[in-house]
Structure 1
Amino acid sequence: MRIRNILKAGVVAAAFAMISAPAQAAGSGVHVGTLECHVQEGWGHVIASNRDMDCVFKPVDGGTEHYTGELSRYGIDLGYTSDATLIWGVIAPASDLATGALEGDYGGASAQATVGVGLGANVLIGGLDRSIALQPVSVEGNTGLAVAAGVGVITLRQG
């Protein structure tokens, strides 16, 4: 029981720290484009889940960059969800973002509830020196039966 309480406290502390970071980054940054990711279907587990993603970054000045990645949730994640599409607004410290700058690890608070068609929100920060914020533009629209809450982490690799 004690380990469970320590785990809960750690998840809450990490989520609180990561929630405040994106708000600070977004307040001092520039909207540089959108990141659209297709997340594969899968089962959640009590402590963690992992799903593969295929993403396209569309800078405001045109063009596209392709990324692959993985979405992980740590905390409660129970049930099955079908594939989903996530769209984030990308906030960076300056408008002249280098090619491949989104590559890296991102973390933040994550919540989702799905009964039939579900909604979720994922606010993440990371990338180039943890200076890039991914703000939800369109939340998950998926189907299934699931509940998830905790800390969300994605890893993006250009390619």
Structure 2
Amino acid sequence: MKTMMLVTAASLALAPAAFAASQHHHHRTAKTVVANEPRERLGTLNCQIDGGIGLLIGSKKNVTCEFRQRSGKVERYAGSIGKIGLDVGITGKTYMSWVVVNTQPARVGDGALAGSYVGASASASVGIGLGANALVGGSAKNFALQPLSGEAGTGLNVAAGVSRLQLQLGS
């Protein structure tokens, strides 16, 4: 419960910046939304990351995510997140939340977020922990997960380096 409260608080802290980026119009089609203006807020990506052991120079963990579009439509994704750099310790399940914006005109929906994302990350936990991640990517490198993710988890861990998030459309 405390973990979810921390994730919620982190997400709410990002809301004013995201709201400013969301004041553009979308063109709707039957199943997708097209974002024509750069830096439009498209929705929120909430992920649950499996616990595990961080090795000295990196780690890789499974992730399940839910993308909630501004229209209310929800898409589920699965994949993995890995870190290259310092990653030492043990973590339990971790929860991350990002504001999703486009970096160029892009369609949204029907698995559009699938692809690879790369960026900087840092986190620490002694019992309950916090972290930050800024990632850019997608199938055409046209999405940014930002401004920084809110991360909440448990464990004893220190990590900093480059993160790579791989997403595929789930069921």
Q: Same fold (TM over 0.5)?
A: yes
Q: Indicate the residue corresponding to 2:142 in structure 1.
A: 131
Residue type at the aligned position of 1:154: L
Q: Secondary structure at the match of 1:129?
A: coil
Partner of 1:104: 115
TM-score by length of structure 2 reads: 0.73
- Structure holding more strand per residue: 2
SS of residue matched to 1:121: strand
Percent identical residues: 43
CA–CA distance in 1 between the matches of 2:72 and 2:110?
12
Higher helix share: 1
Distance 2:72 2:105 in 1: 16
| Residue 52 of structure 2 corresponds to residue 52 of structure 1 | no
Q: Are residue 64 (structure 1) and residue 64 (structure 2) matched?
A: no
Q: Which amino acid aligns with 1:120?
A: G
Corresponding pairs, count: 134
Does the 8 Å CA contact 1:29/1:94 hold for their aligned counterparts?
no
Q: TM-score, normalised by structure 1?
A: 0.79
**4+ long deviations beyond 2 Å:** 93-96
Distance 1:51 1:136 in 2: 22
1:38 to 38, 42, 48: 48
Task: Let me know the Cα RMSD of the aligned residues.
Answer: 1.8
Q: Which amino acid aligns with 1:155?
A: Q
Kindly indicate whether the alpha-carbon contact (under 8 Å) linking 1:82 and 1:142 is maintained by their aligned counterparts in 2. Answer: yes
With over 3 angstroms needed to count, the CA separation of the structure-2 counterparts of 1:74 and 1:138, relative to structure 1, is: closer
1:101 offset after TM fit, Å?
Answer: 0.8
Does structure 2 retain, via aligned residues, the 8 Å contact 1:86–1:140?
yes
CA distance in 2, matches of 1:73, 1:61: 32
